[in-house]
């Protein structure tokens, strides 16, 4: 007999938007990307099917703007009264009473039925233990302005200058055994705007402290930073202000923690297909810039990294070594990336120039596949144009998105999770972006500051990505500081890998297909992959210890801490196109 007290958490995601004509509505669909990156097992539910499928869900997440009819509103009310949890993002769907709030109304001269939020901050400090780790206000873009009536406020809403407002950023409304949770800011729009940045056609407005001279006549990624130079930076240990808060990663966590908490309170089992293999906390990527001035420094840096077992992404601009050197790099699991050097700003987005330099690197390094690209000096122009050219020539990883100036280092584009850009039609690109936390270690970014950023990346289970020039490692004392940084990242649970290896793993993880079922033998989780995935890490948030097995083999779980909660973690291999089935049973039922 199946144990009625042991159930899977059934998570549904529904995009409530219409045709998607509004940019913000396109961005709302990006909330699905948050769930995919998190590794949550969820079902995508069509809006028309919601009344029929709600009884089979335990938690519902909705995004996109729209208005729901009475039949659906009644179904949602019944869903919550029976113990379901509804998390709505950036919209109340014309049913303010279900969330215990009322919409703020603009002045009569403004022809809108309610106030749409622009830029602001959410303050979680002192709200509840679930968000005790959020010490600073989080910047957001978009959403709806609401005031609580019967709901309990979870986070306050501040304006763009961090002044208090009468509005609420996150609120909870209890209904029977369940609840409705409103996240008033638009998470999708927030992530898209901060991660992708503004369209760059001219120098950005520089901060007045001189730490980031954007008005230098050279267009770079940092000219499009959407975070605030005053409110979103804080001084490092040496007094240099930089972006030390992974804002977008914290917003991701807000949603993930709410989902996990709802499962935990209901006594349900919630699985996570973890970001990294072998239960790693995070990852590190070192992009090594080769030197055309001192070719011997390339050889010395290779020996240094080989000595400590670090594989890296080697950026090549001018081929200054023999083909045997590059073959040796690949033999030791390093990768070759392109450092693209446009001759002039207009050439930056020119397909022929990018293709020519890519072919040059492939030919003279004898490397068949080049996946990652960085533009010399972190230059940038436009918004999506370079990504479109990269996809045309077969480049699939952008390792360029970061701050060039010392005062623009850190989480300048919000976080340290790999992400996909949003295309003009609202679909996700096939290309990944790997944010850059520090450009040219040791010269533009001190090792102590890099160490602090590693700690921050580990706290949000992200990727610590830095660049270093081989000339920096030529001196023994400088090389020693780099080795200490690499060792510190390892001590925090970050495994050094290459950009291509990291993204290949992410793609394999996302291509997994899963099935959650229940039978008289316990709970089953089936996994199928189009390609073999080794050392897959599966985390289970369980109300009590569980027994795990696959076939006739028992698995020994270990306990890991993630998102402030304890998970049972197991490691499995999933063979190409073969079903891997796991069985979970209660420990006390095994003993019986």
The 3-class secondary structure across 89-153, one letter per residue, is: ECCCCCCHHHHCEEECCCCCCCCCCCCECCEEEEECCCCCHHHCCCCCCEEEECEECEEECCCEE
Count other Cβ atoms within 10 Å, centred on residue 524: 15
Residue 532 to residue 182: CA distance in whole angstroms = 40
CB 245 within 8 A of CB 232: yes
pLDDT at residue 337 in the model: 97
- In whole angstroms, how large is the CA radius of gyration of the chain? 25
SS3 561: strand
> pLDDT tens string for the chain (592 positions)?
345 568 999 999 999 986 444 445 677 778 999 999 999 999 999 999 999 999 999 999 999 988 999 999 999 999 999 999 999 999 999 999 999 999 998 888 887 888 999 999 999 987 789 999 999 999 999 999 999 999 999 999 999 999 999 999 999 999 999 999 999 999 999 999 999 999 999 999 999 999 999 999 999 999 999 999 999 999 998 899 999 999 999 999 999 999 999 999 999 999 999 999 999 999 999 999 997 777 789 999 999 999 999 999 999 988 878 889 999 999 999 999 999 998 877 777 788 999 999 999 999 999 989 999 999 999 999 999 999 999 999 999 999 999 999 999 999 999 999 999 999 888 899 999 999 999 999 989 999 999 999 999 999 999 999 999 999 988 889 999 999 999 999 999 999 999 999 999 999 999 999 999 998 888 999 999 999 999 999 999 999 999 999 988 899 999 999 999 999 999 999 999 999 999 999 987 555 4
pLDDT at residue 25 in the model: 67
Among 454, 465, 466, residue whose Cα is nearest residue 493: 454
pLDDT at residue 5 in the model: 66
pTM for this model (two decimals): 0.96
Residue 406 to residue 208: CA distance in whole angstroms = 14
Which residue intervals of 2-86 are DSSP H helices? Answer: 23-28, 31-38, 50-53, 70-81
pLDDT at residue 18 in the model: 66
Residue 522 to residue 310: CA distance in whole angstroms = 43
Sign of CA dihedral 585, 587, 588, 590: positive
């Amino acid at each position: 007999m199946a144990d009625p007290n042991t159930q899977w958490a059934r998570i549904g995601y529904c995009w409530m938007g219409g045709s998607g004509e509004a940019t913000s509505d396109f961005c709302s669909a990006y909330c699905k990307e948050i769930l995919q990156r998190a590794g949550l097992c969820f079902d995508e539910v069509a809006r028309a099917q919601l009344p029929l499928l709600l009884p089979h869900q335990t938690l519902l997440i909705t995004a996109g703007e729209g208005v729901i009819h009475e039949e659906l509103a009644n179904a949602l009310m019944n869903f919550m009264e029976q113990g379901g949890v509804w998390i709505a993002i950036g919209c109340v769907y014309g049913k303010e009473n279900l969330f215990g709030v009322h919409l703020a109304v603009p002045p009569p001269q403004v022809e809108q039925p309610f106030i749409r939020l622009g830029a602001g901050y959410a303050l979680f400090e002192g709200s509840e233990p679930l968000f005790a780790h959020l010490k600073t206000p989080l910047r957001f873009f978009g959403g709806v302005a609401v005031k609580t009536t019967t709901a309990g406020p979870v986070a306050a809403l501040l304006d763009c200058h961090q002044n208090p407002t009468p509005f609420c950023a996150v609120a909870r409304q209890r209904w029977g055994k369940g609840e409705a949770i409103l996240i008033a800011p638009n998470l999708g729009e927030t992530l898209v705007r901060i991660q992708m940045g503004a369209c760059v056609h001219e120098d950005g407005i520089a901060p007045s402290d001189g730490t980031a001279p954007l008005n230098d006549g050279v267009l770079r990624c940092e000219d499009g930073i959407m975070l605030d130079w005053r409110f979103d930076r804080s001084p490092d240990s040496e007094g240099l202000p930089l972006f030390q808060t992974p804002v977008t990663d914290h917003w991701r966590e807000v949603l993930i923690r709410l989902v996990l908490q709802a499962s935990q309170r209901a006594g349900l089992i919630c699985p996570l297909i973890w970001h990294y293999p072998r239960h790693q906390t995070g990852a590190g990527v070192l992009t090594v810039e080769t030197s055309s001035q001192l070719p011997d420094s390339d050889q010395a840096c290779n020996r240094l990294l080989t000595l400590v077992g670090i594989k890296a992404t080697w950026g090549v601009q001018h081929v200054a070594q023999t083909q045997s050197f590059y073959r040796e790099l690949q033999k030791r699991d390093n990768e070759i990336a392109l450092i693209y050097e446009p001759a002039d700003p207009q050439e930056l987005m020119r397909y022929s120039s990018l293709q020519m330099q890519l072919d040059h690197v492939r030919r003279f390094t004898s490397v068949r596949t080049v996946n990652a690209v960085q533009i010399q000096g972190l230059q940038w122009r436009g918004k999506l144009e370079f990504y479109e050219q990269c996809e045309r020539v077969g480049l699939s990883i952008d390792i360029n998105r970061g701050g060039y100036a010392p005062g623009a280092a850190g989480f300048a584009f919000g976080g340290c999770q790999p992400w996909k850009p949003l295309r003009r039609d609202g679909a996700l690109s096939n290309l990944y972006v790997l944010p850059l936390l520090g450009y040219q270690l040791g010269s533009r970014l001190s090792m102590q500051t890099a160490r602090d950023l590693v700690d921050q990346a580990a706290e949000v289970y992200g990727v610590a990505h830095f660049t270093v020039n081989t000339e920096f490692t030529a001196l023994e004392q400088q090389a020693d500081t780099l080795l200490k940084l690499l060792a510190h990242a390892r001590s925090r649970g970050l495994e050094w890998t290459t950009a291509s290896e990291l993204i290949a793993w992410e793609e394999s993880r996302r291509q997994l297909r899963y099935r959650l079922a229940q039978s008289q033998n316990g709970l089953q989780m089936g996994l199928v992959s189009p390609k073999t995935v080794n050392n897959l890490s599966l985390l289970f948030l369980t109300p009590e210890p569980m027994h795990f097995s696959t076939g006739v083999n028992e698995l020994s779980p270990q306990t890991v801490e993630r998102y402030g909660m304890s998970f049972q973690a197991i490691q499995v291999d999933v063979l190409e196109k073969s079903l891997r089935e796991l069985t979970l049973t209660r420990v006390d039922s095994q003993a019986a």
